[in-house]
Amino acid sequence: MTYEELLKRNNELEEKIKDKNEIIAKNNIEIEKNYIEIDKLKATIENQQLHINTLNKLVFGPKSEKQPKDENIYVEGTQISIFGEVEDEEIKEQVEEQTEEVIVHKKKNSKKKVSGIKKAELKNVTIETREVLLDEDKHNCPECGEQIERIGKEVVRQEIEYVPPKFVLVNHVRNIYKCTKCGTEKSEKETPTIIKAKTPKALLSHSFASPSLATEVIYQKYYMGVPLYRQEKVWDDRGLILPRNMMSNWCIKLSEYYLEPIYNLIMKQMKEQNEVIHQDESAPRTYRQVA
């Protein structure tokens, strides 16, 4: 064979090898696709098997949570085995536990439940007794006609009455006194001596707020949580017109006149007796140092 023939033969073989390699590559791709498809089919089969098992359990399984009565699953006749049925004596020996009888004494509740209102809660309530007497024309015995006499009393029932609050307009009137001698011919003083009685100091100047009225407003606002606009309606229903801005000024002025000095005194004493009044006690996170 000449050189040209050998070269031609070599080219033909290279073309065949190239074609074979392309076929092998295509076959490898198809094989990988088939493997992926097989994995998907396996996953689908497993899911379908799970659904079938669930349906079989719902259809053919037990319909209640009652424990089986097979005595073989019990350990010492008291505790259910965690392994289900005891298949082997070795497993039974592993799960056997020595039980010890413990006597638990239950503490009895000595307090008896009392229904209704306790008598101790009514100790500060004003007691009023209302006696019921017979009419004068019924003081004779209905059987023989003789006169009857009282032999005792009995408490029929107890009621709690609510007395609505009422308003009282208090006029503080002071008496003015004059000396009978001063300012007369018998006295050296030309003008008479006038003495006025000392009146209690007003809670707020130029205001009709009394301690009881202001206390009720502050109690309803800050303890009972009733806003001033609601209190305005409540007071109006009771027959007293109290605008909300007036009640607001009362709360502000009373806190400034009577509560702020007490607050300042407490703060002064706290600062004198303590070096630290407020501090942040939250523990910071730190890294542990290696010795």
Q: What's the average pLDDT block by block, 10 residues per block, for the chain (291 residues)? A: 80 87 90 92 92 86 60 51 51 55 66 64 83 85 84 86 89 91 84 89 91 94 95 93 94 94 92 81 69 50
Instruction: Give me the pLDDT at residue 136, please.
Output: 82
User: Residue 243 in contact with residue 231, Cβ under 8 Å?
Assistant: no
Cα–Cα distance, 80 to 4 (Å, whole number):
91
Going from the C-alpha of 246 to that of each of 171, 208, 223, the distances in angstroms are 21, 11, 19
Instruction: Give me the pLDDT at residue 86, please.
Output: 46
The end-to-end CA distance of the chain, in Å, is 89
Stated pTM of the model:
0.48
* Cα radius of gyration (the chain): 51
Q: Which residues contact 238 (CB under 8 A, 6 or more apart)?
A: 165, 167
